[in-house]
Amino acid sequence: MKAVAFFEHGSVDVLQYHEDFPDPVAGKNEVIIDIKYCGINHLDIWTRQGIVAETGKKIRLPHICGCDIVGTTTAINGQRVMIYPGVSCGKCQYCISSSNRTTTRRSRRRNNNNGNDNKRENLCSQFAIIGGWSDYNGGYAERVAVPEKNVIRLPSALKDETAATLAVSYLTAWNMLQTNGASRNKKILVYGASSGVGMATIQLAKALGATVITTVSDNSKHGFAKKLGAHHIIDRTRQDIVEEVKKIVPAGVDIVIDHVGAATWATSIAALRQGGRMAVCGTTSGNEATVPVRMFYTKQIIMVGSLLGTRAQLQELINFVIRKKIQPVIDSVFTLQDAKEAQKKMEAGLHAGKILLRL
Ligand SMILES: NC(=O)c1ccc[n+]([C@@H]2O[C@H](COP(=O)([O-])OP(=O)(O)OC[C@H]3O[C@@H](n4cnc5c(N)ncnc54)[C@H](OP(=O)(O)O)[C@@H]3O)[C@@H](O)[C@H]2O)c1
Ligand SMILES: [Zn+2]
């Protein structure tokens, strides 16, 4: 099959396009997906560079990136599907659903959740991401083998392109917003309106009734943030983020969504109100942050780390996106041969919205 793989970690040049990459073979309880779209995430860059595991665990090479997979599967009569990218041990306390013991098969089917409501599989110590830091190949290919339980049928109201944006950026944003109580009248600061996580947070938080303050790094991105509907936009290249936030909300914001890491942790703590919540999911600017400890504890800030979300949360998100008619913005669509160009664009920060590969 056609695929873009890397045989060693490194710069974008390690990505190799192959027309005769071995076809995936479905293992026990796995199905083959014929891929139509694969969304690109910053995680693909980390995976390719080999920067992920705090655990020191290595992944099998060659590896195929791509965690936002949409396609069809003959295993369910050519049904349109998307893939929940999380895989876990299936045995620990976080992987086992208590609702499995309390609900009937029929009620689980009615809710389309396989009884997963109380699962926190993303807390599993074995949690890994298909196409990311795991031995599962991902979506930069014509076909992929995935566990059957990760397959989610796409409702007709959800376009393939939209579905290919949801399973990483939107799911993580949804998890952070839900976990930290985003709701009507809450004031939320999120960096990088044009990023996957930034755009997702703006759209989802707005739809939840929150007021959103965001940041951009140039004029074209300012227009993009405005179109998305952000209530307040700060140009981080010429304005002081904390000063601007305090002009808008003198007491500070209720929640900061921080996917930037080292460069923004101190800003996030300073921009929060007393007892505010800081949701952390990324290290785009670096892994080693300096924290103003005194300010952190006197404000009694609650900091919550977030890794993707659960399968049940993805199902909930899909329903929400359809109900609220949320339209993720697609920056550009690349062919598989041009996957390298697509990653280059993301690495240079030239995108505004999601980048997709079309197979
Ligand atoms: N934990 C999880 O499960 C999870 C899930 C999804 C993503 N993530 C992580 O979240 C991060 C974002 O992912 P993505 O796919 O949305 O990335 P992306 O689309 O490439 O966006 C990166 C953004 O970072 C912003 N940025 C960089 N340096 C900044 C700074 N000093 N101050 C403010 N903003 C800055 C840029 O904003 P400007 O436009 O202002 O330059 C850009 O919009 C990545 O680190 C990714 O690995 C984690
Ligand atoms: Zn587990």
pLDDT of 42 reads: 98
Tell me the CA–centroid distance for residue 40 and ligand 2, in Å. 27
Ligand 1 centre and the CA of 243: distance in Å?
A: 22
For 292-312, what is each residue's pLDDT tens digit? 999 999 999 999 999 999 999
Of ligand 1's listed atoms, the one at least distance from the Cα of 199 is: 16
User: How many helices and strands (H and E) does the chain possess?
Assistant: 12, 17
Ligand in nearest proximity to the CA of 310: 1
Q: Give CA–CA dist 255/267, Å, rounded.
A: 13
281 lines ligand 1 (CB under 6 A): yes
| Model pLDDT, residue 199 | 98
Q: Work out which ligand 1 atom sits closest to the CA atom of 42.
A: 15
Q: Identify the pLDDT of residue 112.
A: 45
Residue 55 pLDDT:
65
Ligand 1 within 6 A of CB of 221: yes
pLDDT of residue 52: 72
Nearest CA to ligand 1 atom 7: 169
Q: Tens-digit pLDDT profile for the chain (359 aa)?
A: 999 999 999 999 999 999 999 999 999 999 999 999 999 999 999 999 998 756 678 899 999 999 999 999 999 999 999 999 999 999 999 999 754 444 444 444 444 444 455 789 999 999 999 999 999 999 999 999 999 999 999 999 999 999 999 999 999 999 999 999 999 999 999 999 999 999 999 999 999 999 999 999 998 999 999 999 999 999 999 999 999 999 999 999 999 999 999 999 999 999 999 999 999 999 999 999 999 999 999 999 999 999 999 999 999 999 999 999 999 999 999 999 999 999 999 999 999 999 999 99
Calculate how far, in angstroms, residue 77's C-alpha sits from the geometric centre of ligand 1: 38
The pLDDT of residue 104 = 43
> Quick one: pLDDT at residue 56?
74
Q: What is the mean pLDDT of the chain?
A: 94
| Preceding peptide of 328 cis, ω within 30° | no
Alpha helices in the chain (DSSP H): 42-49, 99-102, 105-110, 160-165, 171-179, 196-207, 219-228, 241-248, 265-271, 293-298, 311-323, 339-347
Residue 233: the pLDDT is: 98
Q: Give the closest residue (by CA) to ligand 1 atom 16.
A: 196
Please report the pLDDT score of residue 173 as a whole number.
98
The answer to whether residues 322 and 155 touch, using CB atoms and an 8 Å cutoff, is yes
Tell me the CA distances in angstroms from 118 to 168, 265, 286, 308, 310, one per residue in order: 20, 31, 33, 16, 9
Please say whether the beta carbons of 187 and 206 come within 8 A: no
Residue 248 pLDDT: 98
| Contacts of 101 by beta carbon, 8 Å cutoff, 6+ apart | none
pLDDT computed for residue 54 by the predictor: 61
* Ligand nearest the Cα atom of residue 67: 1
Closest CA to 36 of 5, 3, 67, 80: 80
**What angle do the packed helices 171-179 and 196-207 form, to 10 degrees?**
50
Q: What's residue 53's pLDDT?
A: 59
Domains of the chain, CATH where assigned: 3-85+129-154+329-358 (3.90.180.10), 89-126 (no CATH), 171-305 (3.90.180.10)
